[in-house]
């Protein structure tokens, strides 16, 4: 999933009631989107280890392990109650 997103220069963000997962190309727009999400989460008190950001993604294609650089992944495995609605609105505004 990471390589096609990198090649297209696009990204995807999933906001569920209890978590957030996003992966996007490390373009100017992708970097700005991650920064905006991080700033929103920081303002809401979600910081530190609760927000995981990686600038490289590793996974498997078949049996082969691959690493994809040039993409940014953001994961918040435990969103505080009620935050997902406002976070969803922020992400929708980025489209």
**Rg, C-alpha atoms of the chain:** 13
Identify the pLDDT of residue 49. 87
Element spanning 22, H or E: strand 20-25
Identify the pLDDT of residue 58. 87
Q: What residues of the chain score a pLDDT lower than 50?
A: none
In this structure, what token pair is assigned to residue 81?
A: 């109650």
Identify the pLDDT of residue 60. 83
Report the alpha-carbon angle 61-25-45, nearest 5. 110
Phi, psi of 36 (to 5 degrees): -65, -40
pTM: 0.86
What's the mean pLDDT when you consider all of the chain?
A: 90
Give me the domains of the chain, ranges plus CATH numbers: 2-93 (3.30.70)
Identify the pLDDT of residue 90. 92
């Amino acid at each position: 999933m990471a390589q096609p997103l990198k090649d297209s220069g696009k990204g995807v963000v999933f906001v569920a009631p209890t978590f957030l997962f996003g992966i996007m190309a490390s373009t100017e727009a992708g970097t700005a989107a991650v920064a905006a999400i991080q700033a929103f989460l920081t303002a809401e008190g979600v910081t530190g280890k609760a927000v995981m950001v990686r600038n490289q993604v590793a996974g498997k294609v078949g049996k082969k392990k691959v690493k994809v650089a040039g993409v940014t992944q953001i994961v918040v495995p435990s969103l505080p109650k009620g935050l997902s609605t406002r976070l969803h609105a922020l992400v929708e505004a980025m489209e």
